[in-house]
Structure 1
Amino acid sequence: MDFAYSERTQALRSRLSAFMAEHVEPAEAEFAAEIRANTEAGRRWTPLQTIERLKPAAQAAGLWNLFLPESEYGAGLTNSEYAPLAEIMGRVPWASEVFNCSAPDTGNMEVLVRYGTPEQKRQWLEPLLRGEIRSGFAMTEPAVASSDATNIEARIERDGDDYVVNGRKWWTSGAGDPRCKVLIFMGKTDPQAAKHAQQSMILVPMDAPGVTVLRPLGVFGYDDAPHGHMEVDFVDVRVPAANLLLGEGRGFEIAQGRLGPGRIHHCMRLIGLAERALELMCRRALARSAFGRTIAQQTVTQERIAEARCRIEQARLLTLKAAWMMDTVGNKAAKAEIAMIKVVAPTMAGQVIDWAIQAHGGAGVCDDFPLAYAWANARTLRFADGPDEVHRNAIAKIELGRWAPRQG
């Protein structure tokens, strides 16, 4: 394995780091002020101009749609080439949207690139790539343990030239944004089929009759407006049969194709977030004194800083290995590494951010610093794309399979 970045990646890292330093990080105070102003004015669910004004600059800098591998539509970067860019964007939780590289749009665009028909691409992919609309992903349901996606009860039933969609979804990411025009919806087309052939995915326009956003779901008090994680009701929603993705019974196939790269993106963004937290921790520890010494001189602080550095480096190397394997031997062969990073990266980031919060004292848990929101994001990602327990079980089964007695 050679983790040296290609010349193209090095050039993009340099340009992206400069853009973040010049435009994004200085705008964090403006972003927070706009959130407060929108809340006070009762317009939480409106696009944030702090982000919107930066998008044309990102496009002009050639830092747009960087996430799409081997595609005529995006930058054509491999997972290994994009990973260090995702880390840089991850330093600020909202930064990836500036570059049209934010979830769930990235995963949804990859689905449309891989599995969409020409008409689906024209109607939904092209405006998503231009940043004119946004999208959502409707998979998890409140009535069942959706960590086992075979539990999903929502239905997608054929009726003539249409499919009729019924179900209750929650944690539907992106559905709160008024620019969200389409959802990728997962449900059962044939409950009698084989276990992993019952599910399908279909494109559901947000304005289709019968689609009702019931409420935003807060995460440790953060509602992530205007993006939002919403509970959405689907009652007799009729959509054209042409909106089905790939074919009936192929929902799990699509999900695996969608979630593999997305996990790389999430994990590398978390590593960037942890790097930022460690930087803030060191700066704070050097600047504040207690009991006659700087916080940085306290042995406990030094131990935490050292351990944070070790854990960040370990997580980065494992994530880069997973990306390299996806590029060289494919997502299926890399499934153990993908599962491992999904366990390691959020846990690592949560711990590093927690130590940074501790070094900041009371300031660490208020919104004067980005650490409380960063911790909420890292903790949430121990559920998103599958909880820790599911990934640990998968890793254990793969490992046990290496040692199980051979039959015959």
Structure 2
Amino acid sequence: MRIHFIAIGGSAMHNLALALHHKGYTISGSDDMIYEPSRSRLEKHHLLPEAYGWFPEKIGPELDAVILGMHARKDNPELVKARELGLKIYSYPEFLFEQSKEKTRVVIGGSHGKTTITSMVLHVLQYHQKPVDYMVGAQLEGFDTMVHLTEENDFIVLEGDEYLSSPMDPRPKFHLYQPNIALLSGIAWDHINVFPTFETYKEQFRIFIDSIVKGGILVYNEEDEIIRELVAETTNTIRKHPYHTPAYRMENGKTLLETPEGEMPVEIFGEHNLQNLSGAKWICQHMGIDEDDFYEAISSFKGASKRLEKIAETENTVVFKDFAHSPSKVQATAGAVRQQYPEKEFLACLELHTFSSLNKEFLKEYKGTLDAVDVPVVFFSPEAVENKKLDPISKEQIFNAFGRDDLIVFTQPSEFKIFLKEQDYNNTALLLMSSGNYGGLDFEEIKEWI
């Protein structure tokens, strides 16, 4: 097949392009800018466009399909040409479904934890040499790409994102997968630019539950009140399997998980991660991995990329980087570090970077999220607020939103960097939470500072 990617440089899009290239398809693509690591990875496989920009002449009747990325606009010249020629145009999730129609589709959804749970499942399956197709939202240790597609594998494991499918298709991605086996980890309002009310956001998960194929399986976090409510009210004829945080204890900074064979040390920590582990265990069991084999494999799981990723450590100092940005993720991540290092001074920095987090009406959702922190810091860029065409935010609004009189707020990257550099890191746990980079912070420098 000949496939053309409009906006090939995206994190998800370039991984799908690589997966189809490995499958033997003929791949072409365009983009107006491609950043690392997408650029190098595409170049390595001779898939990097010769020039940046949009070139309608790349679109011809010889193409079997066009895949449209979220980065492309509705008036994109290549998209216009493809529509004029009547070519088949897929969104990213539409094409994944097309590739998995004959497979058992396992979809991991939820406002938080879905990348980690998907990563856990794939780690266990790889450990036991059980080949599956997959799509996950983070680069995993031991996996070449974030997408893998074959003709022969029976299962495909998909991270189920609730964000929109494409500029032409406003449906959430996970509505398109029609899972045979699904998991929901938790629901906490996010993506306010697309779902302006919590009820609208919650409705997307109701639709997802109803999209599970008849006779399919839903594994769900019974400790989440909203999910329990949606599961109780669905009329879909599916099997329902609840999970909860497993029993565990801490000893000398190590997490010991209770199992039928006794206590077992695990590499991960934090109640939210253990809850994720419990959900992953159910999914793996439904995919043919028994409980003992699951525990054997999961003991070596160190975490997904950018999820409580340890970037530096000395004898008495530890530094973590985490992708957390929504209120529920921030609170869970901060709570996990506090529990893991109760005797250390806990300095946590949060960058407000997404559309939702920079919306002054949404800010109140962050109240109490940094209560576990000794020294709470928030960074945001007024330029980012302006670029997103949002109302300006004042430092006072940030103070009021988080409910901490001792909150430290920065708006200038240089001032934030100086603050970090001048800290006394003796007996300290530093947590850096962001989906951005604090206006250009070099995380490698932090290793030198501590």
Q: Same fold per TM (> 0.5)?
A: no
Give the number of the structure with larger relative contact order, counting CA–CA contacts within 8 Å between residues 6 or more apart.
Answer: 1
Q: TM-score, normalised by structure 1?
A: 0.26
In terms of fraction of residues, the more strand-rich structure is: 2
In terms of fraction of residues, the more helix-rich structure is: 1
Q: TM-score, normalised by structure 2?
A: 0.24
